[in-house]
Structure 1
Amino acid sequence: MRKAPSRASSFEAMAGVGGGQALRAGVGGTGALGEKGAFRIDAYADHSDGFIDRGDARHGKVLTSVNYALSPDLDLDLSLDHLEQKPQRYFGTPLVNGGLSRALRDQNYNVSDADIHFVDDKAVARLTWRYSPALTVSNELAYMKARRNWRNVESYSYNAAASVVERSDYIGIHHDQEQTGNRLEARWVDGAHRVAAGWEASIIHFKHTNNSPYGGASTVTPFGFNPGVFDSPDPIQPNFATDTTSYAFYLEDAYRITPELLLLGGLRHDRYKVERVSLLGAAGFTSTLQSNAARLGLTWKLDQATALYAQVSSGSDPVASLLSLNLANSRYKLTSSRQVEAGVKQSLAGGKAEWTAALYRITKDDIITRDPANAALSIQGGAQSSRGAEVTASVALNAAWRVDANAAYTDAQFDRLIEGGNLSRAGNRPADVPKISSNLWFNYKADGWRGALGARYVGERYIDNANSQALPAYTTFDASLGWQYSRNVLVQLNLRNLANKLYAVTSYTSSQYLLGDRRHAELTVQWRY
């Protein structure tokens, strides 16, 4: 998270070690810049082997920012960031007899020269003009450039008869993306009204290089194998390029009807134009999409400790990423969604306890489905919905101990969806959506010491729309212990997955799951001056 510059000089540093050969370090400093400005610079890097063979991952970033008062009413904010990531080149563990195998937990079936590498650079300049006590105008200009590369063997299946792992999907992809955006916004305060109005525009140049159709196959033994190298029969070559132009206008108002009643309203219009050019000689196209969104909410403060709220809103989403929109998807309009939500927030016993609760219903129309009259055709007309409840609570047991808990219940289903073979999925739950998830934490803080013990539960999740296969529910336990050695030094020990639970975070294919981290410890030291 970015920290704002301050004219008061300060310096921070942290270092940490942990299981999986984890190392991390960071430094940051801020101070005055001349008589009217301030600066801040932060740098961070980490490394880990991810508890698997050839699972090395590295991340690094440098964040810089400057604030400067050009005049009493005009401020300039500048930031320049550089980020490099080499995530773990790991795509999960194959199932054995339909389940997870603890013996394969540390195995990585990717090739030896696998690569995932991201480089992002971003620059932002923001001018803020306080025209009057009631009116503030700002303009933010941003530029971002991203280079992203993948070269991996991504699909694995365990052949029990031959006791081997069959590998496929030799996938090579490279993205070059350049984006320029601008946001002009005015904020006006007039009595009971708090109004914000703005205009946004952006241009994105995107080039996609790959080796579709991603052929290639190989076989390795479950243990002690030579991982081999990336050897695809399909050449990696430029595939297509898109230019995406977007515009948006929005208007929001927070109207204080009475000291107890606050009415929130907002309108937004988005327009997108996507121009795609094939770099392989196929046909290109131009697609224009637009949408309107609205939001209306009411907050009612019953007393100093209790507030109720309700909100209705509408929105939209493309059926696929606009940057990679293809000819088949270009004929589709944006999907439409609606949400209704209501809730309560209350503080009890003079702030020693507090709780919130919310109920919601979300519907989404025009998702892609098969044509009932022709199963070979994909059309818009599908629909899905979800309703649910969320509850959070925090209670101080005494001056040192506090309990925090939250739980969420989600009842999601497809209302209309037909897949291949004219199979209706109506009534099925969408993939990766648990019905129940929850967290429970006991926290301690006294005499320079802090500690916590917590549990997290995630319910069963289906991996496909047919609901034919499910990821098992799981519960994990974590703990932490911190010591404020001095006013400037904090030592923190975090313990993850105390029971060393073997569990799947998500599925990658029906034959392989991505696993959660094994039990490990992390020790960090933070120093502030």
Structure 2
Amino acid sequence: MINQVFKKPTGKTGVSGSFTYGLYDFKRTAIDAETKYQDLAARLNVMYQDADSYRDYNYSNRWGIAPSFKWDISADTDLTLNLLHQQEDGVFDYGVPMYKGRPAGVPVNTYYGFINNRMLDTDVNVATVALTHRFSSDFSVKNTVRYGDYERNYLTHLYNGNASAGAAPTINRTQALRLNTQENVYNQTDFVYKKPLFGHNNILMFGSEFGWEEYDFKSKNSTRANGTTTTFPISIFDPILTASTPLTAVDFSGTLATNRLTHTQTYAGYVLDQFDITPEIKLLGGTRYDVFEAQQDDKIGPLDFSRSDSQFSPRGGLLWQPTGWQSYYFSYGKSFNPSAESLSLAANNANLPPEQNNNYEIGAKFDLFDGKLSATAALFRLEKSNARTTSPVDSTLQVLAGEQRTDGFEAGLAGEILPKWDVSLTYAYLDAKIIKSNTTATGSVSGQVKSYEGMTATNVPEHSGVAWTTYHLTDNWEIGGGVYYASHRYADSVNEAVLPGYARLDAVVAYHQKHYDVQLNVFNLTDTVYYESGQTNSALPGTPVSGQLTVGFKY
């Protein structure tokens, strides 16, 4: 999960940037400049990237610009404006086929797509305005309005069904032209009130959120030149890509496979309070109330629906800090997933109540050696009850008969263990199981029909972690390296398609000066073959050995 944060004006004046060149003709430039004049501060970020790929016939090209402004209207009031425009084009690629439940043993660059039909275009525009006012040192309010416009136009490249058996196995491919556009408007208001209660420190937070989204999705399936079929077999171990590859529809005229328009509205309010029982013990509690409405207009089929869900989502926690260097906590939260949350769900889910989620976590944090080294640990359980499953009576319908659970443990160590020697160690254990389900699927290896019940969730490694360390040889020179590790993962819901575990070794050498830095990164030093993600019939290989040289400057 990526938490995207705008780079806002800080009131300083300066410019920094970087230029990167790497293997597979990777080129990237980024500039960050800001200044301030009286009560107005401005900041500008621009980025351009152009790269080929270790995967044949793949490339990516993107550029973006993100200006931001801050106006200090008064000592207690400020207004910020953040804008973002980003465009990208590349290739829709799911990687190599799965064969007998494992990624096919072919070179990681092997491409199985349609070489004369490659398209993945994305266009993003986002504008955010935030007004903050401090009524006093104890009471403040912030109102944020965000508008987003997103467009994604692409030609898919999907594997259809399992690989064939025999001396020359093949796999079928399908392709479709797809376009999805989405437009969002949200308004969020947050109040913070800091005032002692019954002689104890207390922080009260409350606010509201209102918004709407409009999601439009169209797709058109590809056919051969004579229009006789929509599946195209290709050899797994000797793929031949020729100019006779079928032509996909170039526009959305004629018969469409999908044409849906979905509207959603969100109305929510929340209240959250942190109360200091003693200076060492803090209690946190609150709830959020959501009303989520959705309407879908299916322009070519009987999949129109309308749905409204409303529910409280409580959360609570207890924090104990017996000393300044140690703290312990417990937290609980409840949330829900409405049936229309994906904005493209079919009408057979329209009457389903929301799925329910419960999260429990207990953990600790220790700041050691005067805060130079930090250690963390957490034990948690994530539960999803009445999860959506396929009806045993009618396979076109879904029912709330499932249960999923993830039990996990995380530990981390970060900071300076000796002068000039820094480390970052993280480890995660995840036991993600489907506890109850009446959904079944045919195994890609056994050919037998199996239930999801008792299976491990897809693409979740049981063990994973990162060990990274850097050492400053001098005030200017720094070296480092580390290992990224993940145990095997299942790529399908009946646990017959497997992505093998791996350990990847990276390294870095850097030279630092006051106004510039030079850094060399080497990825996958041992040229390990590994797979980043997968599905029942496909696996996406990770990057083989590669390197990038970056020159950065700051003034």
TM-score tier (shorter): over 0.9
* 2:478 counterpart of 1:465: no
- Aligned counterpart, 1:173: 178
Counterpart residue type for residue 452 of structure 1: G
Q: Does the CA-based 8 Å contact 1:102-1:502 persist in structure 2?
A: no
- Aligned counterpart, 1:431: 458
1:36-435 alignment, distance < 5 Å: 36-96=39-99, 98-101=101-104, 103-111=106-114, 112-155=116-159, 161=166, 163=168, 165-191=170-196, 192-211=201-220, 216-220=230-234, 222-223=238-239, 225-226=241-242, 228-231=245-248, 235-236=255-256, 239-280=259-300, 282=302, 284-319=304-339, 321-371=341-391, 377-394=397-414, 396-420=416-440, 423-435=450-462
Deviation at residue 104 of structure 1 after TM alignment: 3.3
Cα distance in 2 for partners of 1:352, 1:278 equals 58
Q: Does the CA-based 8 Å contact 1:84-1:119 persist in structure 2?
A: yes
Deviation at residue 211 of structure 1 after TM alignment: 1.7
Q: Does the CA-based 8 Å contact 1:459-1:474 persist in structure 2?
A: yes
If the length of structure 2 is used for normalisation, what is the TM-score?
Answer: 0.89
Counterpart residue type for residue 483 of structure 2: A
Deviation at residue 241 of structure 1 after TM alignment: 0.7
Counterpart residue type for residue 142 of structure 2: S
Determine which of 7, 12, 25 is the counterpart of 2:11.
7
Give the 3 Å change call, closer, same or farther, for CA 364–138 of structure 1 in structure 2. Answer: same
Q: Does the CA-based 8 Å contact 1:311-1:340 persist in structure 2?
A: yes
Cα distance in 1 for partners of 2:415, 2:66 equals 37
Deviation at residue 352 of structure 1 after TM alignment: 4.5
Deviations 1:161-181 (A, max 9, x none): 474754422122101211111
Q: Does the CA-based 8 Å contact 2:156-2:178 persist in structure 1?
A: no
Deviation at residue 420 of structure 1 after TM alignment: 3.4
Determine which of 494, 503, 506 is the counterpart of 1:475.
503
Deviation at residue 427 of structure 1 after TM alignment: 2.2
Unaligned runs of 5+ in 1: none
Q: Which moved more, 1:394-403 or 1:82-91?
A: 394-403
CA RMSD across the alignment: 2.4
Counterpart residue type for residue 264 of structure 1: L
SS at 1:149 equivalent: strand
Q: Does the CA-based 8 Å contact 1:166-1:217 persist in structure 2?
A: no
Q: Which moved more, 1:78-87 or 1:519-528?
A: 78-87
Cα distance in 2 for partners of 1:378, 1:238 equals 20
Q: Does the CA-based 8 Å contact 1:441-1:454 persist in structure 2?
A: yes
Deviation at residue 414 of structure 1 after TM alignment: 1.4
Give the 3 Å change call, closer, same or farther, for CA 515–384 of structure 1 in structure 2. Answer: same
Give the 3 Å change call, closer, same or farther, for CA 159–414 of structure 1 in structure 2. Answer: closer
Q: Does the CA-based 8 Å contact 2:218-2:257 persist in structure 1?
A: yes
- Aligned counterpart, 2:527: 500
Q: Which moved more, 1:100-109 or 1:272-281?
A: 100-109
If the length of structure 1 is used for normalisation, what is the TM-score?
Answer: 0.93
Counterpart residue type for residue 121 of structure 2: H
Counterpart residue type for residue 244 of structure 1: T
Deviation at residue 373 of structure 1 after TM alignment: 6.0
Counterpart residue type for residue 428 of structure 1: M
Counterpart residue type for residue 199 of structure 1: S
- Aligned counterpart, 2:444: none
Give the 3 Å change call, closer, same or farther, for CA 125–397 of structure 1 in structure 2. Answer: closer
Counterpart residue type for residue 449 of structure 1: W
- Aligned counterpart, 2:446: none
Counterpart residue type for residue 506 of structure 1: S
Cα distance in 1 for partners of 2:310, 2:481 equals 48
Q: Does the CA-based 8 Å contact 1:110-1:152 persist in structure 2?
A: no
SS at 1:350 equivalent: coil
- Aligned counterpart, 1:20: 24
Identical-residue share of aligned pairs (%): 24
Q: Which moved more, 1:447-456 or 1:208-217?
A: 208-217
Deviation at residue 37 of structure 1 after TM alignment: 1.1
Give the 3 Å change call, closer, same or farther, for CA 216–87 of structure 1 in structure 2. Answer: same
Unaligned runs of 5+ in 2: 224-228, 442-448
Q: Which moved more, 1:447-456 or 1:210-219?
A: 210-219
